[in-house]
Amino acid sequence: MTGCQAELPPHSDHRCAVASDGTSIVLDFDSYGVNQRSHAHIVARLQAEPHITTLKIIINQANIQQPEHLYHYLRGFGVPVLQFVPFVALDDVGALTTESVHAEQWGAFLIAVFDLWVQQDIETLHIQYIDAALAIWCGQGSPFSGDNALLAEECRECPVLRFCHGDCPQHRIADDGKSALCAGYRQFFTYSAPYMKALRDLLKQHRSPMELMTMLAQSR
């Protein structure tokens, strides 16, 4: 396995559960920090399973607060695809658990990761939700085609429905029937729209999407 050059995060008192489903490894940190043993375990799994193409990372209340550090740490493993999975669960009284992420945090996390990707890693790193959104912008993805009757009324008229599809049914736990992460998704898809349009136009002109990285660098 090459590319396992990840920099160990600065914490040392937390654990990470590592599971594999054949082509991907699922990382479930109980906090962002991973200790030497956890880090070595991840490296060992990647070395033992060189066919792994995806890291699936469970995003919880702790690691959502360090998107830049988390991004660079994961990027250092050299695995070409990252998939971020938000943790959302209810406690016994119907409130979000303390580990669950909130909509505004999720939106800020997605935007922070997107900003890093669009400035540094277009065409070299694939992030599942970015790839899926870009495919829809390019007319190649799968816009929402489900049963609108299953969605909250506000969702049916939402301009970003074609991207979020109403989110996973198990996340639709808000009082109005919307996803608990609705505002975050709307924030991200609205923010990323100008960049996605630029990427779409470059691809339609058979130009490299990496040209956008150059344009952004020149504008800074």
Question: How does DSSP assign 92-158, residue by residue?
Answer: TTSSBPTTS--HHHHHHHHHHHHHHHHHHTTTT-EEHHHHHHHHHHTT-S----S-GGGS-HHHHT-
- Enter the tokens of residue 212: 């956008």
Three-state DSSP at 62 gives coil
In DSSP terms, which residues pair with 90 in a beta bridge?
96
- CB distance 119 to 216 below 8 Å: yes
Task: Report yes or no: 11 and 31 within 8 Å, Cβ to Cβ.
Answer: yes
DSSP line for 4-40:
--PPPPS--S--EEEEE-SSEEEEEESSS---HHHHH
- End-to-end CA, the chain: 36
Give the C-alpha separation, 196 to 192, whole Å: 6
State both tokens at 36: 């030497």
pLDDT at 9: 38
The per-residue pLDDT string of the chain (220 residues; one tens digit each, 9 = 90 and over) reads 223 333 333 443 334 444 555 678 888 765 444 556 667 878 888 888 888 899 999 899 888 988 999 999 999 999 999 999 999 999 999 899 999 999 999 999 999 999 999 999 998 999 999 999 999 999 987 766 667 778 888 898 899 999 999 998 889 988 888 999 999 999 999 999 999 999 999 999 999 999 999 988 888 7
Q: Are 153 and 77 in contact (CB under 8 A)?
A: no
